[in-house]
């Protein structure tokens, strides 16, 4: 059988993607809208996607489609039950960002804890140049050593984050949740993690159970000196509540790499924040050159394994 492989969002991956080893034809599109999905996948047996939504309505119009290969870990945009109904296999990418995301977490943490942006702004405004002594003491600087990092999500990226935290001399608490992935990890009640963490970092998937996991009630349970870091999914945090918490000093700062809607074409309360204690990056924590190449290689590995009858990294 000659498979027809269609990559709907090629521009979402800045890496070399090798051609599959099996007999195939291939089409690539830089980006694809939902309205373009059906005509472009009409003859596809394998669809390669990133963020595009695949609903039951779309899948019902694609009888030749047999596999969806996601060039990402998250699959909340795909109707998994509909895939099962229509006999479509789904594979995702796993453990490719175990270094780059934790490193980004700590880039945010260190910039916030040491008030790097506040000090940079003061230099740009000439404050250091006007100082009567060799340094400025205008913003607090805190150490990580001896502090507590709370982590929600004990998967590979959560574990990678914990390893770096321990390297800084931090105590690590993993938050309890239903159906934990790792049975050999001590889990701590969420309220205790919220209360004791100096840094809280989110590393869990977005689902009905985790939507708005962190809202105003949870933010008020945190220390006023605490930092909130989210490099996972925007919907995990109530963004209106976070903006209010930062404005009112309920927590000390936050570093985010994700928003509820991406790209944020219609605005977002976090986009309007102009505060040195809030850092927003455009969903790039995962995007080191090394991680993207590992993702691209695993993407084709997943497709080849499915074609060979030994599927791996399957969602369904």
Does domain 100-280 sit in CATH 1.10.3720.10?
Answer: no
Residues 6+ apart with CB under 8 A from 281: 104, 108, 255, 256, 257
Same fold, 3-94+290-307 and 100-280: yes
Length of the chain, please?
Answer: 316
* Active-site annotation holder among 3, 104, 203, 233: 233
The stretch 239-245 carries a mean pLDDT of 98
pLDDT confidence bin for 264, thresholds 50/70/90: very high
Mean pLDDT lowest among 68-77, 194-203, 218-227, 231-240 = 68-77
Question: Cβ distance 243 to 270 under 8 Å?
Answer: yes
Buried b / exposed e across 159-192, counting CB within 10 Å, b at 16+? bbbbebbeebebebbbbbbeeeeeeeeeebebee
- Furthest-apart CA atoms within the chain: distance in Å: 78
* Active-site annotation holder among 262, 275, 290, 308: 262
For the question of residue 218 being annotated catalytic, the response is: no
Distance CA 236, CA 105 (A): 16
For the question of residue 283 being annotated catalytic, the response is: yes
> What confidence tens digit (pLDDT) does each residue in 33-82 have?
999 999 999 999 999 999 999 999 999 999 999 999 999 998 888 999 99
CB atoms under 10 Å from CB of 155, counted, come to 18
Q: Whose CA is closest to 30, among 4, 6, 58, 11?
A: 11
> What confidence tens digit (pLDDT) does each residue in 27-37 have?
999 999 999 99
Residue 177 has a pLDDT of 84
Residue 270 has a pLDDT of 97
pLDDT confidence bin for 306, thresholds 50/70/90: very high
Delimit the domains of the chain by residue range.
3-94+290-307, 100-280
Residue 180 has a pLDDT of 75
Percent of the chain predicted with pLDDT > 90: 93
State whether the Cα torsion 173-175-180-186 is positive or negative: positive
Whole-number average pLDDT of the chain: 96
Question: Cβ distance 148 to 160 under 8 Å?
Answer: no
Distance CA 172, CA 258 (A): 23
> Exposed (0-12), middle (13-18) or buried (19+): which is 222, by Cβ within 10 Å?
buried
* 263 preceded by a cis bond (ω within 30 of 0): yes
> What confidence tens digit (pLDDT) does each residue in 186-217 have?
999 999 999 999 999 999 989 899 999 999 99
Tell me the fold of 3-94+290-307.
Answer: Rossmann fold (3.40.50)
* Active-site annotation holder among 40, 114, 171, 283: 283
């Amino acid at each position: 059988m000659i498979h027809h492989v269609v990559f709907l969002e090629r521009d979402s991956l800045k890496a070399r993607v090798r051609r599959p080893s099996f007999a195939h034809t291939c089409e690539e599109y830089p980006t694809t809208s939902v309205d373009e999905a059906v005509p472009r996948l009409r003859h596809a047996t394998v669809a390669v996607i990133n963020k595009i939504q695949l609903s039951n309505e779309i899948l019902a119009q694609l009888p030749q489609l047999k596999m969806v290969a996601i060039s990402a870990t998250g699959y909340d945009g795909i109707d998994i039950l509909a895939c099962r109904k229509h006999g479509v296999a789904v594979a995702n990418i796993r453990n490719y960002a175990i270094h780059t995301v934790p490193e980004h977490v700590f880039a945010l943490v260190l910039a916030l804890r040491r008030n790097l942006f506040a000090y940079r702004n003061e230099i740009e405004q000439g404050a250091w140049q006007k100082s009567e002594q060799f340094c400025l003491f205008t913003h607090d600087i805190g150490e990580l050593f001896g502090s507590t990092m709370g982590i929600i999500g004990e998967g590979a990226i959560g574990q990678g984050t914990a390893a770096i935290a321990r390297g800084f001399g931090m105590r690590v608490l993993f938050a309890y949740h239903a159906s934990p992935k790792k049975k050999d990890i001590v889990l701590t009640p969420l309220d205790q993690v919220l209360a004791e963490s100096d840094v809280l970092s989110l590393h869990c998937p977005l689902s009905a159970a985790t939507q708005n996991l962190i809202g105003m009630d949870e933010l008020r349970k945190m220390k006023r000196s605490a930092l909130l870091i989210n490099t996972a999914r925007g919907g995990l945090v109530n963004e209106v509540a976070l903006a209010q918490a930062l404005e009112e000093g309920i927590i000390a700062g936050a570093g985010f790499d994700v928003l509820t809607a991406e790209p944020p074409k219609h605005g977002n309360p976090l986009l309007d924040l102009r505060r040195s204690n809030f850092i927003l990056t455009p969903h790039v924590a995962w995007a080191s050159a090394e991680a993207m190449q590992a993702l691209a290689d695993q993407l084709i590995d997943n497709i080849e394994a499915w074609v060979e009858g030994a599927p791996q990294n399957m969602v369904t």
